[in-house]
Amino acid sequence: MNSLRLFMAGLIVLLGLPQGVSTQEKGYSIKIRVFQIPPIQTVVSGGPAGKGGIIGTQTGGDISTSFPPHVVLIKTDLDSSAPDGRIKQALFDTGYFKEALTFLSGKVGWWPIDDYSIYYSANELGEDSSQRTYHEPPGNSGRNRHAEYWLTLLPKSADDITAILAMKFETGEPSKRLLLDQDISVPLGKIIIVGFPTETQNPQDQRNTRGSIYILAIYVQKTGN
């Protein structure tokens, strides 16, 4: 008897909805993966030294010098299921770190730091109250050390093709600095790669270091109707 009452109540609610109206709210799912590429990297190789001995060779240096001193945007055909390695390869396919890939035998270090899954309903887009900031304290897990940072997101608009996200990225070492502050246009259903260095000016010693390189892999998908 109780089951019958529940069924009838649900049927009345459905019949009371206007034609063409879905019970699933329209919204947008946003996924962001954060990576760091450290500037100083080395690779150690070994080989025979004669008389049964082995000699080791260490090659490396500052690999950041081939990265531009500004934000780069890279469109891809990858979706949210793409493994980290595919995202890494999409960055390398642009030609960045070409020299490093050669002398490091393709073993450029790439550290996953964190990932975020965020949902916004359609009526939250463009509202100042929808801004969200994620704070990541300094981390050190094995060799994967990263500086403190703040990632701020505000979805400004979206349709069936593209989402516009206002994004900021700040680091806290050695002092708080704003590295990214711009609107990012993200094609729905495809990952866009956003890369930027911690150093954008050439230092006085002319090494042209870019410091650590941060990489954001951003994916946006529409949900509901």
Distance CA 161, CA 184 (A): 14
What is the rounded average pLDDT of the residues 194-221?
83
Question: 204 vs 171, which has greater pLDDT?
Answer: 171
What is the rounded average pLDDT of the residues 61-77?
90
Q: Over the Cα atoms of the chain, what is R_g?
A: 23
* Dihedral of the alpha carbons of 115, 138, 133, 71, in degrees to the nearest 10: -70
Task: Give the count of beta carbons closer than 10 Å to the beta carbon of residue 219.
Answer: 24
Instruction: Calculate the average pLDDT of the chain.
Output: 82
Q: Give the per-residue pLDDT at 140.
A: 66
User: What's the pTM?
Assistant: 0.79
Q: Give the per-residue pLDDT at 43.
A: 73
Question: 54 vs 76, which has greater pLDDT?
Answer: 76
∠ CA 90-95-96, nearest 5°, is 85
* Least reliable range by pLDDT among 44-58, 105-119, 131-145, 207-221: 44-58
pLDDT at residue 98 tops 90: no
- 4 — pLDDT class (breaks 50, 70, 90): very low
Taking only the tens place, the pLDDT of each residue in 137-173 is 887 654 556 788 999 999 999 999 999 999 999 998 7
